[in-house]
Copies of this chain bind each other. A is one copy, B any other.
């Protein structure tokens, strides 16, 4: 569904949010460990997220990553996915046609449109705060 880059990106963002929620700034090493991801690869992903203004980074000693508490409920899953994977998931043809469209549809065009709309709605309506809550309460997990 999503690229691994995107999967790690979502997990990292949720972890950062769950920590920021209790005013805890976190560093790369900690993030990579807590979401079980390769450190150097994760660093790159965090930079994308940082440039996309989804997370905030602070350089230097005592630096790290954080997300302002008041922004959490505004950040939707779709922003993370869009920043990393682009709109591939939402617009790409289910059968890989490069010019699949309403006027030139593949055989599963309409059926897929519905699935993709479901997905898009879900991503648009899910915010970081709710996801971070599950981690904080121990109901959901970011590794294994």
Contacts and interface: CB of A to CB of B under 8 A. Distances in A.
Contacts of A105: 139-141
Interface residues of A, number: 41
Contact of A141 (B7, B106, B111, B115): B106
Interface string A84-115: 00000100101111111000111111011011
Contact of A1 (B1, B98, B111, B143): B1
A14 interface: yes
A126 interface: yes
Nearest to A88: B1
A132 to B, nearest CB: 8
Given A105-B139, A106-B141, A107-B141, 16 more contacts: A1-B1, A1-B92, A4-B96, A7-B95, A7-B96, A8-B96, A10-B108, A11-B96, A97-B141, A97-B142, A100-B141, A104-B144, A107-B140, A107-B142, A115-B118, A115-B119
